[in-house]
Structure 1
Amino acid sequence: MKISLITELDSFDQVKERWNSLVDNDPYSTVFQRHEFIKSWWKAFGGSSELMILVVSDKGGRIMAAAPLMLSRRYENLLPQRVVTLIGSDNWAADYSVFPFDPDFPEAARMIFDWLNIHRETWDQIVIKNVPGKALSLKGLEEYFSLWHYPVCRNRLQDAPTILFNKLEDPEKILRKKSLVRHFNYFKRNGELNFTEVSEACLIKPFMEDFFSQHIERRRAAGDKSQFLQKSQREFYYSMLTEFDGSGILKFSVVTFNDQPIAFHFGFQYKLRYYWYKPTFNPALSKHSPGEVLLRFLIQSALEKDLREFDFGAGSEKFKYRFANHIRKLDELRIIDSAIAYAAFCGRAGLRQVRSWLLGRESN
């Protein structure tokens, strides 16, 4: 096996099929590790950062492990730092962060860890957000750098509630929850209520500006600012339309009432799992909860497709717990190659560990 460093987007495009094949077959990888998502994010937000994508391949060119990384220069605790992060996790766009790898070849993931260790003069910190607790590749990364006496900090960030349908005796009971039925019936009684789901970019694009506007109005009504006020965020979503087009993974949903859109959802369906990603609804109708009507339609659709899971994704919003029957725990993993930075990050509690860290590093 050999390891390669990709620093240009064109080179990343050349490995798209082999990359996605690895992600498809890795049980821990999610839609956020797909080439389409990574490329879309990079085009919108990469800016002055540097691509640092690592790929481990066998003699036949099959990718055995990968790390979609980037290098950014920024200040952390008032210190200038060179920070390696997983593409998509820096601004919370990716709900889950893992290194895709073939579990039958753990040595391939080890080659990525070795590369990062050997090239430690190029970075000061590795910071990965939204790490699922059971992600083997990131657990391996944590254990590897701990053995090399790097300061490793792992902190709980947030929950990721989900519905595992196979763990429910009667999955359709969710659809009969009083609040969902009440709001659904209100619209059914008072007009024509319809739900449409599409995957083709040409069918989604005509709705995008209304989708953005509705989200902006919804957040304004809540006393907040929508992410879609930023041009880069709108570009990110348009890019995903283009990149995922033809894959069937991107799912855009529209709920109409009397032929007027009252709710939208921009999500994904991948590996028998539906991803609740970006919902919005008309705030003028909030009294009748069009968001819950949308949710009922989406869960019903997932059940009709015989999906295994309806994933609410990262975030601890209260409504998710009303429906979820399983909670994933998401962490931040931080590996630091600077005693000063470690002390600044951990405060006084970390100062005692700096001396033992330095002694350990000197012995290796």
Structure 2
Amino acid sequence: MMTKIVTDTDGFLKLREDWEKLTKIDPDATYYSTFEFNYTWWLTFGQDPGKELFIVCHYRDRELVAIAPLMIRQIDKKIAKCNVLCFLGKGDYFSFITDSSRFKSSILMKELFRTIEQHSSKWDKIELTHLQMDTKLLRYLLRHDRYSQYTEYLTSCSRINRDGFDSYEQFEKEMVDTKMKHKRIKLLRETGYRFRCVSGGQTRDIYEQIAQVHQLEKKYLLEMKGRKERRSLFEDRGMERFLRRLFEDNDHILLFYLESGDGEIIIYKCCYLYQGVLYGWNTGYSPKFSHYHGISDVLLMEMIRSLFEDDRADQIDFGAGTYPWKFRWTNQFSVSYTFAMWNESSRQSRLLRMLVRYRELLRAVKQIRNAH
């Protein structure tokens, strides 16, 4: 039995074969768990001096059986700096990767956390977010005498399961109302749209097209609607480099879109495809077609129809967030949690917690004053 911590990019790359083997046999693994996603993310953002790899690997008989894909992120709080131990990457689902087919998952989790605690001098706080219910990691945290008190509800993630319906016709009958059907008929009549699906490995041009659409949508919402909160992933240099790397020759990336008769993208939705699940992560529409209400509904209808026709996937995952539009499409969802625990033995941690409590007190006093 042996546990080691990988802290350099070369060591990270050497894990590829074993990492990919583990994700294939771990039922809790999502696309956000894959080596491909995490390594691409690290190559893009890992050069930041405020980030340090901290991948915990547990071995049995020299065979890798558990991975905690973590890093240490330094946050500058002005008065003090905080070292936060967190997951690599950014996404809707995260977990530790384990071989629970041969080993008891609770024992593997215990070994990973023992190593984390043994290196507590490296971190001031652990912050593990987007822990999906019914996963081995969340069960371990909730059952733990100490860790359970730091584990709280975060959000929900809605899903459409193809297995819940015999056919698309049944799905449409139960879940699609007359208004949605009329939207599709009108859009088809006036634009002659075509439904398309391509992978990152099929075309290089499509990335440029969706980046332009997304940025035009952001500009339109700001200038015409006054919506300053809208951001474009493709305007962030780091994220743009990450997505471009991830897109290249990657058949795990699927782009669904409606194309007008003139060949323009009306609306698109990007997804990660992994083990039969489509994980939605980005969508955008052309301002030119903004006067058509419900174009996102039309795209979803076409996407869901394609699930039944081409057997590409079993589920569409809408990602994190409790929004009414998601529940108009499904009554099935999972719950995600977050685990946040301060390092009790760290002097820096005690100072930071004192600052947090002081800030909360000031906020409470301000609210009382405003109320009067």
Shorter-chain TM-score bucket reads 0.7 to 0.9
Partner of 2:246: 240
> TM-score by structure 1 length?
0.84
Matched to 1:264, the amino acid is Y
Matched to 1:217, the amino acid is L
Q: Of 322, 333, 353, which aligns to 2:328?
A: 322
Matched, 1:253 2:250: no
Structural RMSD (CA) = 2.6
1:348 Cα deviation from its structure 2 partner: 11
Q: How does 1:101-250 map to 2 (within 5 A)?
A: 101-104=98-101, 105=103, 106=105, 107-141=107-141, 143-144=143-144, 146-147=145-146, 152-168=149-165, 172-175=169-172, 177=176, 178-201=178-201, 203-222=202-221, 223=227, 224-242=230-248, 245=249, 248-250=251-253
The alignment partner of 2:54 has SS state of strand
Partner of 1:334: 340
Matched to 2:69, the amino acid is P
Partner of 1:37: 37
Q: How far apart in 1 are the matches of 2:93 and 2:252?
A: 17
Segments of 5+ residues of structure 1 without an aligned counterpart are 351-364
Matched, 1:265 2:265: no
Q: How far apart in 1 are the matches of 2:309 and 2:357?
A: 49
1:184 Cα deviation from its structure 2 partner: 2.0
Label 1:218 to 1:191 Cα distance change in 2 as closer, same or farther (>3 A): closer
1:103 Cα deviation from its structure 2 partner: 2.1
Q: How far apart in 2 are the matches of 1:18 and 1:8?
A: 17
**2:162 touches 2:307 (CA, 8 Å); kept in 1?**
no
Label 1:76 to 1:334 Cα distance change in 2 as closer, same or farther (>3 A): farther
Q: Which moved more, 1:273-282 or 1:336-345?
A: 336-345
Partner of 2:366: none
Matched, 1:298 2:303: yes
The alignment partner of 2:231 has SS state of coil
1:257 Cα deviation from its structure 2 partner: 0.9
Matched to 1:269, the amino acid is L
Partner of 2:52: 50
Per-residue displacement from partner, 1:115-155 (whole Å, max 9, x unpaired)?
001111111111012111322213324655x44xx795233
Q: How far apart in 2 are the matches of 1:167 and 1:294?
A: 20
Partner of 1:356: none
Q: How far apart in 2 are the matches of 1:182 and 1:59?
A: 62
Matched to 2:275, the amino acid is K
Q: Of 92, 96, 103, which aligns to 2:93?
A: 96
Label 1:179 to 1:158 Cα distance change in 2 as closer, same or farther (>3 A): farther
The alignment partner of 1:204 has SS state of coil
Q: How does 1:17-96 map to 2 (within 5 A)?
A: 17-46=17-46, 47-48=48-49, 49-61=51-63, 63-75=64-76, 79-88=80-89, 93-96=90-93
> TM-score by structure 2 length?
0.82
Label 1:103 to 1:342 Cα distance change in 2 as closer, same or farther (>3 A): farther
Q: Of 274, 284, 290, which aligns to 1:286?
A: 290
**1:268 touches 1:274 (CA, 8 Å); kept in 2?**
yes
1:279 Cα deviation from its structure 2 partner: 1.4
Per-residue displacement from partner, 1:186-225 (whole Å, max 9, x unpaired)?
2322343212222243x33212122112112223333223
**2:129 touches 2:338 (CA, 8 Å); kept in 1?**
yes
**1:159 touches 1:315 (CA, 8 Å); kept in 2?**
yes
Partner of 2:280: 276
Label 1:220 to 1:155 Cα distance change in 2 as closer, same or farther (>3 A): farther
1:10 Cα deviation from its structure 2 partner: 2.4
Per-residue displacement from partner, 1:2-50 (whole Å, max 9, x unpaired)?
2221112222222212212211211111110101111122223232200
Matched to 1:55, the amino acid is C
Q: Which moved more, 1:259-268 or 1:101-110?
A: 101-110
Matched to 1:18, the amino acid is D
Matched to 1:156, the amino acid is Y
**2:157 touches 2:335 (CA, 8 Å); kept in 1?**
yes
Q: How far apart in 2 are the matches of 1:160 and 1:124?
A: 30
Segments of 5+ residues of structure 2 without an aligned counterpart are 222-226, 345-349, 362-372
Label 1:21 to 1:182 Cα distance change in 2 as closer, same or farther (>3 A): farther
The alignment partner of 2:204 has SS state of helix
Q: How far apart in 2 are the matches of 1:158 and 1:68?
A: 22
- What is the identity percentage for the equivalent residue pairs of Structure 1 and Structure 2? 22
